[in-house]
Amino acid sequence: MMFEKIFPKIHQEGYKFLVISSIITLILLFSTDLFGYIFILISIWVYYFFRDPERVVIDDEAYLVSPADGRISGIKEVNGPVELGLDSKKFTRVSIFMNIFDCHVNRSPTKGQIQDIFYKPGKFLNASLDKASEENERNYFNIIENKTNEPIVVVQIAGLVARRIVTQVEKKETLKQGQRLGMIRFGSRVDVYYTQRKTMVKVGQNVIAGESIIASF
C-alpha cells in the first residue's frame, strides 16, 4: 500500500513520454552531466504527471464526486451545453482547473449511462478563463444519472499546453461512480454540469477526482 502511494501506476498515455525522456536522459548523462541531471528531473516529472492512482470512491448516488484533481476556479448558474441540445435547461456549472502538477485522469461523478460523447475542436486559450468553456477544444460526456434520470455533463477542456484529449469510455456504456473517463495531457480544465443538488464546494478549494464531494441532495 505504501509502495503504491509513493510509486503509483501511470496512465497508458504516459509510457511513450517516459520512454522518450528516459532515453534522452541516458544519452545526455554520457555526454554532459548538467543536462543529464536536468532530464532526470524531467523524467521524474513525466512519471508524476501521468500517474493514475487508485481512489477511494464514496459509491453513493446521493452525492456527485469531483471528476478531476485541481482547484475550483468557478461556480455559475448557466444554460446547458448547446452541443448536447441542453441549452434550454438551467444547470449549475462547477469548473476545476488542473495545473501541470495535478493528476490529469478524469472520472465519472456519478453512476449512470453515457447517452452521448461529443468532441468539439477549438482554440487553446488559458483554461482558467471563463470563455474557454465555449472556445477551447473540448470533449463532452452526457451521463444520464441512475438516481434521477437527469443529465450530468462532464466536459474536458484543453488549455494552453494541452493538445490531446483522451477518452477511455464509449457511448451507451454504463458507468460506476469514480470510473475513469479519460485524461487530458498537460494543463487543462474540467467542467461538471448538474441540477437538483446543493453545491458543496467553493471557489479556490482543492479537490480530488473520485473522492471529493462536489454536490449533494
C-alpha 68/C-alpha 62 separation (Å) is: 19
Active site residues: 188
- Among residues 124, 131, 102, 113, which one has the least CA distance to residue 191? 131
Lowest-confidence range among 82-91, 117-126, 195-204? 117-126
pLDDT beyond 80 at 162:
no
What is the second-level CATH architecture of the domain 63-216? Distorted Sandwich (2.70)
Nine-digit cell string for 64: 456527485
Once rounded to an integer, what is the mean pLDDT over residues 145-159?
92
pLDDT at 5: 60
Q: Where in the chain is the domain with CATH 2.70.70?
A: 63-216
In the chain, pLDDT over 90 holds for what percent of residues? 54
Mean residue pLDDT of the chain comes to 87
